[in-house]
Structure 1
Amino acid sequence: MDQSLQNTHAKLVARDIHRLVPSTIEANSFSLGGNVCVSRVETVGTIVSREMTHKFLKFDVDDGTGCVTCVIWLNQLSSSYFSRCDSSTILLLASAARKQAAEVRIGAVARVRGRVGSYRGAMQITATVVVVERDPNAEILHWLECVRLSRSCYRIQS
């Protein structure tokens, strides 16, 4: 591997997210075109499905190259994973997650950032930030940035 993008969000389209393969070099990361390791991604697209339970919100983002499933966890108050955090941090995380989940609507264009992973054989994003885009050009500008980065930084073969 030439480089690691472990501490940054790689801007990718859904097609490239689905092309990620588990890295043999770095734990909890994925290989992008055999050139870089990725653990966090950013994508922009239209929300085409939404399923909410008391534990999570699952939604699909379609950017024209494919759909990627995204998950926002809503169980910070009852999860043992967060038990080592202080109560004010847990309340802040729970509040932020609920606020972001309320913004997720079918038909909205959203920018999603989070940790990429594989669940039941399919790639998905565990979202940490979801922002509904107001700029009508956000999706095409994201595509252009992804093309530029794939050629100059990621060296992905089309």
Structure 2
Amino acid sequence: MDPMQTSHVKLLAFDFLSLTQTPTSDPNLFFRKNRPVSRVETLGIVVSRDLIPDKFLRFVIDDGTGCIPCIIWLNHFNSPYFARKNPSDVRVMADIANNQAMQIQLGVLARVRGKVTVFRGVLQITVLDAVVERDPNMEILHWLDCVKLARQCYNVKFKPAVATKSVVGEGSSSSVMR
């Protein structure tokens, strides 16, 4: 399995917005140059914020290459999805989501990690983790990281590890790896 599929892939907005989905693939799986992506990390300025209490916070991150819609769900106590989970766990998740939603304000530099999803035909990030960055240099560092990772990892064709053979000699219980 390609490690990009389960890692938070650092992307700039123009790369995020160019993710594609094949009709035959998993609906939660997207592709960047034929490499699978399901989780992303991005960083930028919050340019739009729409809070619906006890439901969600919808906001937009602008990193200079484009704008990425993001959503933090705040409906932990009235969602059927969370009804089957341990109530104390749900309370902790709700507190974390509410704290993150309070930090996300217009004009702040925010780092967002989450799942790539589609809502009404538009790509968005369903936020798992949002952090306000205090150092403005983090934006430049994120750009440099994205460019470096694209060149060295994301644009390189994935080569799965070659399986090793186990050979058992006659009359021996040891195995030799080749």
Equivalent residue number for residue 174 of structure 2: none
Cα contact 1:111–1:132 (8 A) shared by 2 = yes
Segments of 5+ residues of structure 2 without an aligned counterpart are: 157-178
Q: CA RMSD in A?
A: 1.5
Deviation at 1:3, TM superposition (A): 2.8
Segments of 5+ residues of structure 1 without an aligned counterpart are: none
- Secondary structure in structure 2 of the residue aligned to 1:19: coil
Separation of aligned partners in 1, 2:74 and 2:26: 29
Per-residue displacement from partner, 1:58-83 (whole Å, max 9, x unpaired)? 00000000000000000001100111
TM-score (norm 2): 0.83
- Equivalent positions of 1:3-152 (< 5 A) are 3-23=2-22, 24-34=24-34, 36-54=35-53, 55-152=55-152
Aligned length: 154
Separation of aligned partners in 1, 2:155 and 2:30: 15
Structure showing greater radius of gyration is 2
Cα contact 1:115–1:125 (8 A) shared by 2 = yes
Separation of aligned partners in 2, 1:155 and 1:3: 13
Separation of aligned partners in 2, 1:6 and 1:31: 9
Separation of aligned partners in 2, 1:4 and 1:37: 9
Separation of aligned partners in 2, 1:77 and 1:154: 38
Aligned-partner residue type, residue 91 of structure 1:
R
Separation of aligned partners in 2, 1:25 and 1:97: 30
| Identity across the alignment (%) | 49
TM-score (norm 1): 0.93
Per-residue displacement from partner, 1:73-126 (whole Å, max 9, x unpaired)? 000011001111100000000000000000001000000000011111211000
Aligned-partner residue type, residue 135 of structure 2:
D
Separation of aligned partners in 1, 2:119 and 2:16: 13
Question: Which 10-residue stretch deviates more, 3-12 or 118-127?
Answer: 3-12
Which protein, 1 or 2, shows the higher relative CO under an 8 Å CA cutoff with sep ≥ 6? 1
